[in-house]
Structure 1
């Protein structure tokens, strides 16, 4: 039995996070593994992994669609995939992680103060040692450990190359030729270091402190280490690894990281604006000193003013780590100031992140001055360049485009509104929380900064109908659904009213060709009706519970009717396309939603 720890995370921290966690726990237990899972999202971390659990684990699985801090897993085999992969291909993910763990053989550290025994041939000329040093700040211990290892290796007559990693990124990066030529690999780190590129090489892991104080022993322990056993993984596992690499650095993940940090700001601001209208009427912001005015100052003048800078800041953070936050925040604030809105904020975030990362790699400083880069040089230069570009180059044309979009949305006639609602609704149901769903949602949330609230109402309503329609169909037409699906329908109903579209995933995973078109039809109808009725929504999340807040939704009864009608359309479509199951059919689903 293997011991596994895992972290699951998605932008909201609700649907994909919880479903991936439950899938890993259930399938892991069925495979004979002992697994603990921590969940992360907009509300923070739950079931936080203890230091004891991490130390005892043989491998760490990160199933995430947003940035997850990995420094506490230093020295552990780490396998990273998306939450959707963890939900749909759980067994393959666990098998791949177990295979990764099985390949790591770490020898015991040599006793401090005593030189480890070394074979004569290990001291032969021509030995080439490579290494990686890393600490959380990437300044002092990182470079001091690198120098100590270099000095010790040279004293022993070995050629050496050490890569340093930290808050300013990797320096003196090891090439594929370096790794191929190396006789041993040493990782002296207090933060996470990816070991996958060192497969089949003798590898020794230790702390930066050990490298600093006992560099000679660490070098000899590295040469005494056994090569990592290479394992032949299936094609599916190779595909998972490729996806892991792409997801970790892809623009989609950077955007979703920004959205995940932005959402709490938008939700709080939207609710406070709705309450301001409830207490002070539509002109609450003009009645200085009243409760309605105070709520409008908190929600509209402050929280809503922050959400574009927060979006940009954390997009940049996902790309360039901490040095990207300052230029991202400033670029996002300038996007709001010059009228470029959320579109400008997204561009500012990506510009700040990639520019900061480029400057970090391009600027070369002596090692004793490296500490200036993350706190002085990078924030100053990148903020200056991003600011000038936003004011003179990017801001003006984006403002024109956003103004045109805003004017078109405000002047939409019934036919145009219906078409937009159809498109947004279909997108919300297409992949149930995936990139297409998130694109429609992010577009609608971004429009809130321009006081355009109709698309937000359409997307939330359309996101509720897939699990609601499936839950109703599984209740009314039991012969067309397995026992597991009938049981899962109870949870799907709760997820539906909570605006968690991912509640439809277990049904779609088993029968995608019938389920996905059916839920898209219902969501498209709901989105179209919501736009046609002129419903608006001040808050980007909350499901049916938001409807209870005064003035959060306009045309409330018609809005509720659009959700009901879309649910019925989905249910009717499922009745038509799904046939009664025969007794010979296996009543199993890919993943059950835990109640």
Structure 2
């Protein structure tokens, strides 16, 4: 009986060809008859007849095109390392159908969370596997994994750009990565996870080797975890203050006993007071798990008290997190006293280290840096303001949800804690433009897009209006070298105009809908005009850069 094999990966042409040759040689040694089809760069070599593509087919890598429903899958790397072992693993029995469970999450809990989930589901369907995906979005967990599902799973995939607890996956094969691999190629990620996942210890912690994201920048992920937990405080506080100003004027905070004053106190004196401690506490949580929360939050309070603001809060979070992580590693107690570590020793020593560092070492310098930054930003006029707006707006379109985009967003969000609202306006304008520019381009320059892209235009526009920049990603994926520069031009224009018009934004999310809330955005008409002009510039740039579709 001939064993059908399909090998391919558009990003690994040479490796796919070498894997095919290795497989043929290993099969010859074992007296096996194999028929190998190779799919690389849109070309199919030794195409197998359709009748031969059954559920017995072996898939190697992530070939393009339609694939048979099969449970036999290997990575190209595994085939190159030992093709004979792969053949031996197949044996003569039918392979067991894999069951995969996954958790997806991102800092804002909106676009990447659900795009990663869809990517994994599509990948599992392509491979013929069963999958259950839990999404930890902005409104909490959806489709929460049950204990039975976790117990039955062959592998657990955590595709997240912020810290996700892995405690419940003790004893399971766990693979941790970011959301982008799941969005880009869910099938390849699942195959990689099945091959490379490591078993979690019974008391798994995020610091365990098995829980370290492959190729994920740790500092960035820790920062984004802190930002994601800070966002609800920023949104609630900003909207409360905006409503207070709408009802009682800009001096609502000075008139005691009024409803507007009560709203102002809730927003400015409660929600905004907790922003920096939440940022610091959850940065520390991302690094050291739950024992890091108390030292981090206390460090954040001290940062706010000494005037170090969000910069001091970020530093306090990292100091607390890494201090507690080191203490956890090096403090050894008798088994009977281990229970004291998380509730007494780690919070006590972690808080002492963080607090003393903030008071005596880093608090004052960070306060001076923040004061200088605040004065510089408040003094920006003319060309300097345009330049800052263009930089922040353009950054939002560079990678649309990636590190550059999130860096601009985190910077602007952090400045809200220091009552600096203009950068947030430029950032949100720049983030709304890419999907809106693509929508306009699909309407006015339809010959630059495929039929499917044209039909997706209205949905993309809705995402743009909601400040979900990732709505542009399907278009970017087709031709990034032409699409991204055009979108950067549009976003930079919107950001520059937003600051040139003197607009300010008090909340870090909401898109066009936040403009309906009184005083949430200053100079609303001018802000809308900046976004419209930026979108038009982006659409025209797309007309110039994209090729005509056949």
Does TM-score exceed 0.5, indicating one fold?
A: yes
1:97 aligns with 2:66: no
Q: How does 1:101-180 map to 2 (within 5 A)?
A: 134-135=202-203
Contact 2:237-2:271 within 8 A present in 1 as well:
yes
SS in 1 for 2:467: coil
Q: What SS is found at the alignment partner of 1:134? A: coil
The aligned counterpart of 2:278 is: 310
1:77 match: 173
Corresponding position of 2:151: 55
Aligned with residue 214 of structure 2, among 245, 250, 253: 245
Cα deviation for residue 321 of structure 1 reads 1.0
Instruction: Give the conservation status (yes or no) of the 8 Å contact 1:341–1:402.
Output: yes
1:20–1:86 Cα contact (<8 Å) kept:
yes
- Counterpart contact for 2:116–2:159, Cα < 8 Å: yes
Identify the match of residue 469 of structure 2 among 501, 517, 522.
Answer: 501
Encode CA deviations 1:547-580: one digit per residue, 9 max, x unaligned.
0000000011000000000000010000011121
SS at match of 2:401: coil
Task: Please tell me whether the aligned partners of residues 417 and 531 of structure 1 are also in contact (alpha carbons under 8 angstroms).
Answer: yes
Runs of 4+ in 1 over 4 A off after TM superposition: none
Give the equivalent residue in structure 1 for 2:290. Answer: 322
Q: Are 1:301 and 2:269 matched, yes or no?
A: yes
For CA contacts below 8 A with separation 6 or more, give which structure has more relative contact order: 1
Which of 97, 103, 108 is 1:12 aligned to? 108
* Closer, same or farther: CA 305–421 of 1 in aligned 2, 3 Å: same
Aligned to 1:462: 430
User: CA–CA distance in 1 between the matches of 2:539 and 2:111?
Assistant: 22
Contact 1:5 1:57 in 2 (8 A): yes
Taking structure 2 as the reference length, the TM-score comes to 0.80
Deviations 1:379-402 (A, max 9, x none): 111111211111121111111111
1:126-163 C-alpha deviation (Å, 9 max, x unpaired):
xxxxxx9634xxxxxxxxxxxxxxxxxxxxxxxxxxxx
> For the Cα contact (< 8 Å) 1:424–1:458, is it kept in 2?
yes
Output the CA distance in 2 between the equivalents of 1:74 and 1:321.
Answer: 15
Change (3 A) 1:133 1:565: closer
Deviation, 1:246, is 4.1
1:281 to 249, 257, 277: 249
Q: State the secondary structure of the residue aligned to 1:300.
A: helix
Asked if the contact 2:122/2:187 (under 8 Å) is kept, the reply is no
3-state SS in 2 of match to 1:63:
strand
List aligned pairs for 1:350-361, cutoff 5 A.
350-361=318-329
Q: Say whether 1:377 aligns with 2:345.
A: yes
Taking only aligned residues, the RMSD between alpha carbons, in angstroms, comes to 1.9
- Whether contact under 8 Å (1:42, 1:261) holds in the other structure is no
Cα displacement string for residues 487-511 of structure 1 (whole angstroms, at most 9, x for unaligned residues): 3323211110000111111111110
Cα distance in 1, alignment partners of residues 177 and 107 from structure 2: 15
Q: Distance in 1 between matches of 2:138 and 2:301?
A: 22
Tell me whether 1:331 sits opposite 2:331 in the alignment: no
Are 2:123 and 2:188, in contact at CA under 8 Å, matched by a contact in 1?
no
Q: Structure 1 residue 581: deviation in Å?
A: 1.3
Work out the CA distance in 1 between the residues paired with 2:387 and 2:114: 34
The SS at the match of 2:176 is strand
3-state SS in 2 of match to 1:194 = helix
Query: Pick from 516, 520, 536: which aligns with 2:504?
Result: 536
Task: Give secondary structure in 2 for the equivalent of 1:432.
Answer: coil
Deviation at 1:166, TM superposition (A): 6.3
- Taking structure 1 as the reference length, what is the TM-score of the superposition? 0.74
Counterpart pick for 1:363 among 331, 335, 354: 331
- Answer with 480-489 or 311-320: which moved more: 480-489
Alpha-carbon distance in structure 1 between the residues aligned to 2:287 and 2:126: 37
Q: Deviations over 1:256-282 (max 9, x none)?
A: 111111111111111111111111110
**Cα shift at 1:289:** 1.0
Aligned to 1:230: none
Q: 2:210 aligns with which of 165, 178, 194?
A: 194
Q: CA deviation at 1:486?
A: 1.9
**CA distances 1:142-190 after superposition (whole Å, capped 9, x unpaired):** xxxxxxxxxxxxxxxxxxxxxxx669x77xxxxxxxxxxxxxxxxxxxx
Q: Give the equivalent residue in structure 1 for 2:30.
A: none
- Give the structure 1 partner of residue 395 of structure 2: 427
Mean Cα deviation higher: 35-44 or 573-582: 35-44
- The aligned residue for residue 107 of structure 1 is none
Q: Which residue of 1 aligns with 2:137?
A: 41
Q: Secondary structure at the match of 1:471?
A: helix
Write the distance in 2 (CA, Å) between the matches of 1:100 and 1:338: 47
Contact 1:42 1:263 in 2 (8 A): no
CA distance in 2, matches of 1:95, 1:14: 26
Shift of 1:100: 4.8
Q: Deviations over 1:310-350 (max 9, x none)?
A: 00000001111111111100000110000000000000000
1:143 maps to what in 2? Answer: none
SS class of match (1:60): strand
1:195-240 per-residue CA deviation (whole Å, 9 max, x = no partner) reads 9xxxxxxxxxxxxxxxxxxxxxxxxxxxxxxxxxxxxxxxxxxxxx
Q: Is the 8 A contact 2:111 2:470 kept in 1?
A: yes
Q: What is the alpha-carbon distance in structure 1 between the residues aligned to residue 271 and residue 437 of structure 2?
A: 35
Tell me how many residue pairs correspond in the alignment.
Answer: 454
1:262 maps onto 2:226 in alignment: no
CA contact (8 A) 2:126 2:187 kept: no
Which residue in 2 is equivalent to 1:442? 410
Q: Is the 8 A contact 2:390 2:493 kept in 1?
A: yes
Give the CA deviation at 1:514.
0.4
CA distance in structure 1 between the aligned counterparts of 2:309 and 2:127, rounded to whole angstroms: 50
SS in 1 for 2:230: helix
Q: Is the 8 A contact 2:490 2:537 kept in 1?
A: yes
What's the CA shift for 1:92? 1.1
How much does 1:539 deviate? 0.5
Distance 1:528 1:77 in 2: 48
Helix, strand or coil at the partner of 2:213: helix
2: distance between equivalents of 1:509 and 1:133?
38
